[in-house]
Amino acid sequence: MRKIIIACGGTGGHLAPGIAVAEALNERGNKSLLLISQKQVDSALIKKYEELNFLKMPGRAFAGGIVQRLTFLFDLLSAFMVSRRVLRKEAPDLVLLFGGFLSLGLGLAAKTRGVPVVLHEANCHPGRAVRLIKYLCERIYLPPAVTLSGVPHERIRHYGYPLRREIKHSVKAHAQSRLKIKVPNKLLVVIGGSQGACVLNDWVKDNFRFLAKEGISVYCVTGLGNRSSVTLYEADKKGTDMTATLVPFSDQMSDVICAADLIVSRAGAGSIAEIIRCRVPAILIPYPYACDDHQQANAIAHEQADAGIILAQEQLEELTAEVINLIFDDSRIANFKTSLERLDCSNSSELITSDLLRLCEGGKS
């Protein structure tokens, strides 16, 4: 039996793949401890995983002015000291980092204690934390075709994004039934990432009447900052009632995505991986202020694979027409689904878990 500590908190895009690997490790009789942030999104996401072990850690992103950056350095030192105590107590075989601010403290602490460090980068453009930590790592997992300068080729594996067991393709009508929503015609699902996107939430509220007239219902995950659920009502051209359901959070993301005829989403690596697994075409709206513009790189790769299309946030006034044109274009939707099925070709959780256990045994191949 092996023990692995996983740093994966801060956003759903970091935490969800950490949970996926922990699930795979546990199924093989191994132990894991997931280090998460003190943010609300982490607390909400872990509620349904009582079989896993979590520990909240200090830390914050490297951003803002001089005061915020000094605070970051203080929190990094605190995370480093806490991580050393955790490593001393848990005595893991290795640590797995999923990027983000929690990875820095644990990665540095592990190196000082001689614990092997492994790193996963989900985005097509590696982030700042990954570029800082890469020299400490015995293994780095990257998306297909992504490179990382300064790292020997033999340390890199292209294993993709690990998905939780619950994220799987299912019949659209069954997913709608589990969500307890009635869809007379087409359903558009809008996802702003784990923390929501105000600009997309506002777009739904401002444009639902136009979508409803065309027979399009909406299901929108607004983010935890929007605490209450809301249902809007409009009628289509025939007088049939259409609804727009806005919820702050869902622990049924597989059903949310599978229920859709079309998705409008940010372009985080986790969102895209879940869209691929559920095989639903998407219009991706990259967050324009993402660090290193990684969402734009993710979206371009998705579009180039003929699995969806990109629309820039500054072109949001065109989104309603794009949705109406695409959601009723059965031929184009079918082509996108074929590409999505082709992309969903490997189980990254199992590949990563097998490799981690080989590393624990001292294997390098």
Please list the pLDDT of the chain residue by residue as tens digits (365 residues). 999 999 998 888 889 999 999 999 999 999 999 999 888 888 989 999 999 999 998 765 555 566 666 666 777 788 889 999 999 999 999 999 998 777 888 999 999 999 999 999 999 888 777 787 888 899 999 998 888 888 889 999 999 899 999 999 999 999 999 999 999 999 999 998 766 689 999 999 999 999 999 999 999 999 877 767 899 999 999 999 999 999 999 999 999 999 999 999 999 999 999 999 999 999 999 999 887 788 999 999 999 999 999 999 999 999 999 999 999 999 999 999 999 999 997 899 999 999 999 999 986 55
pLDDT of residue 149: 86
C-alpha 289/C-alpha 296 separation (Å) is: 10
Chain centre distance of CA 311: 19
pLDDT of residue 57: 86
Fold of 3-165+346-360: Rossmann fold (3.40.50)
Q: Three-class SS string for the chain?
A: CCEEEEECCCCHHHHHHHHHHHHHHHHCCCEEEEEECCCHHHHHHHHHCCCCCEEECCCCCCCCCHHHHHHHHHHHHHHHHHHHHHHHHHCCCEEEECCCHHHHHHHHHHHHCCCCEEEECCCCCCCHHHHHHHHHCCEEECCCCCCCCCCCHHHEECCCCCCCCCCCCCCHHHHHHHHCCCCCCEEEEEECCCCCCHHHHHHHHHHHHHHHHCCEEEEEECCCCCCCCEEEEEECCCCCEEEEEEECCCCCHHHHHHCCCEEEECCCHHHHHHHHHHCCCEEECCCCCCHHHHHHHHHHHHHHCCCEEECCHHHHHHHHHHHHHHHCCHHHHHHHHHHHHHHCCCCHHHHHHHHHHHHHCCCCC
| The CATH homologous superfamily of the domain defined by 172-343 | Glycogen Phosphorylase B; (3.40.50.2000)
Alpha carbons within 13 A on the beta-carbon side of 143: 21
pLDDT of residue 323: 98
The CB density around residue 354, as the number of other CB atoms within 10 Å, is 13
Residues 263/310/222/337 CA torsion (nearest 10 deg): 20
User: Strands 262-265 and 186-191, how do they pair?
Assistant: parallel
pLDDT of residue 196: 66
C-alpha 113/C-alpha 104 separation (Å) is: 14
Q: Tell me the pTM.
A: 0.92
pLDDT of residue 176: 97
For residues 45 and 194, the answer to whether their CB atoms sit within 8 Å is yes
pLDDT of residue 24: 97
CATH 3.40.50.2000 domain range(s) in the chain: 3-165+346-360, 172-343
C-alpha 167/C-alpha 179 separation (Å) is: 15
